[in-house]
């Protein structure tokens, strides 16, 4: 890694936010390069050789101490007497990007370490820095190039990169990654979730080539509360920190000049006559940032998002979020989604249902999702996997959650589609939890003051059939998410008839989950669990109830498509699929899909 002057390093920190230095030092995201799609890159996708290593023999010796000569050395016998008990080049291969579980039957339930190795040659370019970039690896990774450790990363759903300018050579590079998806009680998420623990290099891997001093990060959005003032900042990375920088939006004749400080940082603000981005008009502008040493393009939409009482205002006008929740499950497949095509299919299905909103559950999805949502005009909720039973009092757990939050916001903060950052899902009420989540909110606000902050919470009952939203954490969010399963985990669908909802907050509420399971093609009467008719009836009853909630600002039922989960073993019905999808794992639409489609169509018409 490049060594910078201390003042420069400190300045990088100030550019991001005001959290304790010790904390920042530990955070690998300080180096995160954004907008890799518009950079010069070399793909490392494709076949990688692997070694399955359940005992971590390639890492620990027989005294359980880290080895000097682990598998990351990619060693070969030098003579016929040499003892080397592994050989990447004779080992099997897996596709990257891709989870390992869906690629080999023997890895279907596997949780542990797999070593990945990719060999490659590289044409060095003058005055160019090179980074190796991972879209995501689940869950914990240690990365080595040519036998040298580059660093580690924890968290399965956010990108990370390491500089390799000095280590990379023209011939025979070998990049080795130890990926471990063992669940841990102190991790984020913890041991218990309702989705498949897909392991491996689940997203793309590439080399990113940048000039010696480059534009590493920037924020270009409308200023909070404004519909014409663009405000933001730019962060250079490299030794030539003081530069003149321009921000150009050619379509509206914007060409603004600024000078970065000795820290390579500049804040700016200017007015522009912009068409505002919205689901009906997803206007995107070519924005180019040019420094003396670098130039980088992005495609950015401009919109405002606020709340007023129980309303969400998009560009100053109330908007009802006609949503659906989505897991990162590849369409018609038992694999994790990881491509543009997957994003287009999933968001295309949502649009077909007349949605203008999607909840990306329960972790940051791959970058194709927000980029495609920007293009298609879909509003997004994006969240981190602070789910159910996190260790609230564990300092490292908090650091880890903060880091994942930071990486999510760093990557996606220029996407107009993203309107909500969500801190947590269905977490138990308590002081330690509140403190933990408040720290997350502070971090989110310090990184991005323009978006709304939410969390999916639960209701309690004031009396039979009188649910009330009163989670004390509700005080700290802008929008309240509430998950409920009336008619599925709680009574039968008719129960919805008698419910009257209350909230103690004057804030918008999104019913961020409701639903029930149905096996596509299983037909019976509406009282028969798992039938499409039961699910259809449940949705009809839910909709009737939801229409009576005066403070409702949106809905994102559970869920667009069936998704894999080890919690769902019921033979011939579930077979390890959560069947609450409105679309089956083969892409077939269930009856309830059309119930939502009609409901949203009517809402859409009344809006116009």
Binding site for ligand GCB (CB under 6 A): 194, 362, 425-426, 483, 513, 558, 578, 580
Residue 454 vs 483, nearer CB to ligand GCB: 483
- For residue 520, the Cα-to-chain-centroid distance in whole angstroms is 29
Residue nearest to ligand GCB (CB): 194
116, 46 contact by CB (below 8 A): no
Tokens of 440: 């997350």
Residue 162 vs 558, nearer CB to ligand GCB: 558
CB of 583 to ligand GCB, least distance (A): 15
Tokens of 63: 């005294």
Please confirm whether the linkage preceding 329 is cis (ω < 30° from 0).
no
Residue 279 vs 385, nearer CB to ligand GCB: 385
Question: For residue 41, which phi and psi values (nearest 5 degrees)?
Answer: -135, 160
CB of 89 to ligand GCB, least distance (A): 41
361, 419 contact by CB (below 8 A): no
CB of 532 to ligand GCB, least distance (A): 17
Residue 197 vs 483, nearer CB to ligand GCB: 483
CB of 328 to ligand GCB, least distance (A): 13
Residue with tokens 């400190």: 10
CB of 325 to ligand GCB, least distance (A): 8
- For residue 575, the Cα-to-chain-centroid distance in whole angstroms is 27
Residue 290 vs 362, nearer CB to ligand GCB: 362
CB of 558 to ligand GCB, least distance (A): 5
Residue 285 vs 558, nearer CB to ligand GCB: 558
Residue 356 vs 425, nearer CB to ligand GCB: 425
Residue 322 vs 362, nearer CB to ligand GCB: 362
Task: Let me know if 113 is exposed, middle or buried by CB neighbors in 10 A (0-12, 13-18, 19+).
Answer: buried
Tokens of 274: 């912009």
CB of 205 to ligand GCB, least distance (A): 28
The 8-class DSSP code of residue 16 comes to: H
- For residue 527, the Cα-to-chain-centroid distance in whole angstroms is 37
Residue 107 vs 564, nearer CB to ligand GCB: 564
542, 592 contact by CB (below 8 A): no
Look at strands 285-290 and 479-483 and give their pairing: unpaired
Residue 387 vs 600, nearer CB to ligand GCB: 387
Residue 414 vs 578, nearer CB to ligand GCB: 578
141, 161 contact by CB (below 8 A): no
The CA distance from 439 to 423, in Å, is: 10
Question: For residue 145, which phi and psi values (nearest 5 degrees)?
Answer: -120, 130
Residue with tokens 């991001």: 16
Look at strands 140-145 and 244-249 and give their pairing: unpaired
Among 506, 505, 457, residue whose Cα is nearest residue 484: 457
CB of 426 to ligand GCB, least distance (A): 5
The CA distance from 377 to 348, in Å, is: 11
- Distances from the Cα of 405 to the Cα of 152, 435, 449, angstroms: 17, 16, 14
Contacts of 72 (CB under 8 A, 6+ apart): 58, 115, 142, 144, 147, 149, 176, 178
Residue 444 vs 511, nearer CB to ligand GCB: 511
220, 230 contact by CB (below 8 A): yes
CB of 94 to ligand GCB, least distance (A): 27
CB of 349 to ligand GCB, least distance (A): 18
List the beta strands (DSSP E) in 21-112.
Answer: 40-43, 46-53, 93-96
Residue 404 vs 410, nearer CB to ligand GCB: 404
The 8-class DSSP code of residue 576 comes to: T
- Specify the 3-state DSSP secondary structure of 63: coil
CB of 460 to ligand GCB, least distance (A): 15
Tokens of 106: 């023997």
Residue with tokens 């308590």: 430
Residue 363 vs 421, nearer CB to ligand GCB: 363
CB of 485 to ligand GCB, least distance (A): 7
CB of 159 to ligand GCB, least distance (A): 23
Among 437, 414, 490, 433, residue whose Cα is nearest residue 459: 490
Residue 101 vs 483, nearer CB to ligand GCB: 483
Among 546, 486, 95, residue whose Cα is nearest residue 320: 546
CB of 425 to ligand GCB, least distance (A): 5
Tokens of 252: 């509206």
Question: For residue 154, which phi and psi values (nearest 5 degrees)?
Answer: -120, 140
Tokens of 31: 């180096």
The CA distance from 205 to 137, in Å, is: 10
Question: For residue 65, which phi and psi values (nearest 5 degrees)?
Answer: -110, 145
Among 16, 506, 437, 462, residue whose Cα is nearest residue 188: 437
CB of 436 to ligand GCB, least distance (A): 18
């Amino acid at each position: 890694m490049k060594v910078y002057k201390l003042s420069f390093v400190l300045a990088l920190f100030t550019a991001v936010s005001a959290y304790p230095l010790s904390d920042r030092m530990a955070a690998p995201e300080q180096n995160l390069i954004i907008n890799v799609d518009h950079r010069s890159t070399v793909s490392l996708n494709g076949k990688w050789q692997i070694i399955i290593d359940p005992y971590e023999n390639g890492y620990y010796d027989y005294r359980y101490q880290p080895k000097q000569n682990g598998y990351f050395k990619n060693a070969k016998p030098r003579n016929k007497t040499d003892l080397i008990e592994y050989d990447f080049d004779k080992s099997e291969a897996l596709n990257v990007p891709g989870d390992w579980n869906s690629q080999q039957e023997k890895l279907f339930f596997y949780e542990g370490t797999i070593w990945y190795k990719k060999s490659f040659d590289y044409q060095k370019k003058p005055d160019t820095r090179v980074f190796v970039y991972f879209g995501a690896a689940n869950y914990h990774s240690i990365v080595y190039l040519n036998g040298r450790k580059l660093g580690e990363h924890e968290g399965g759903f956010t990108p990370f990169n390491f500089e390799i300018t000095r280590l990379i050579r023209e011939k025979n590079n070998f990049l080795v990654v130890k990926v471990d998806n063992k669940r841990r009680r102190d991790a984020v998420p913890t041991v218990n979730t309702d989705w498949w623990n897909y392991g491996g290099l689940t997203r793309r891997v590439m080399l990113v080539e940048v000039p010696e001093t480059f534009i590493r990060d920037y924020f270009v959005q409308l200023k909070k509360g404004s519909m014409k003032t663009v405000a933001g900042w730019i962060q250079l990375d490299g030794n030539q920190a003081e530069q003149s920088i321009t921000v150009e939006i050619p379509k509206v004749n914007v060409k603004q000049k600024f000078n970065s400080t000795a820290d390579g940082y500049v804040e700016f603000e200017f007015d522009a006559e912009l068409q505002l981005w919205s689901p009906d008009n997803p206007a995107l502008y070519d924005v180019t940032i040019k420094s003396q040493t670098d130039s980088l393009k992005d495609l950015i939409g401009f919109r405002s998002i606020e709340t007023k009482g129980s309303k969400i205002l998009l560009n100053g006008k109330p908007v009802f979020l006609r949503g659906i929740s989505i897991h990162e499950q590849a369409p018609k497949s038992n694999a994790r989604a990881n491509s543009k095509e997957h994003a287009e299919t999933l968001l295309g299905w949502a649009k077909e249902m007349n949605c203008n909103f999607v909840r990306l559950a329960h972790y940051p999805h791959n970058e194709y999702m927000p980029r495609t949502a920007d293009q298609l005009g879909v509003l997004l909720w994006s969240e981190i996997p602070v789910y159910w039973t996190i260790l609230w009092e564990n300092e490292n757990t908090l650091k880890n959650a903060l880091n994942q939050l930071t990486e999510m916001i760093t990557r996606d903060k220029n996407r107009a589609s993203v309107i909500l950052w969500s801190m947590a899902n269905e977490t138990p009420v308590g002081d330690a939890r509140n403190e933990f989540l408040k720290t997350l909110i502070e971090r989110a606000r310090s990184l991005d003051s323009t978006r709304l902050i939410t969390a999916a919470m639960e209701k309690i009952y004031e009396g039979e059939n009188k649910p009330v939203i009163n989670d004390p954490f509700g005080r700290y969010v802008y929008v309240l998410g509430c998950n409920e399963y009336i008619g599925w985990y709680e009574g039968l669908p008719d129960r919805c008839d008698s419910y009257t909802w209350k909230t103690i907050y004057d804030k918008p509420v999104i019913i961020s989950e409701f639903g029930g399971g149905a096996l596509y093609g299983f037909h019976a009467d509406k009282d028969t669990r798992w039938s499409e008719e039961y699910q259809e009836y449940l949705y009809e009853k839910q909709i009737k109830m939801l229409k009576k909630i005066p403070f409702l600002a949106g809905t994102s039922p559970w869920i667009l498509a069936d998704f894999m989960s080890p919690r769902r073993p019921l033979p011939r019905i579930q077979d390890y699929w959560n069947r609450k999808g409105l679309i089956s794992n083969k892409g077939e639409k269930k009856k309830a899909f059309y119930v939502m489609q009609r409901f949203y169509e009517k809402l859409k018409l009344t809006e116009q």
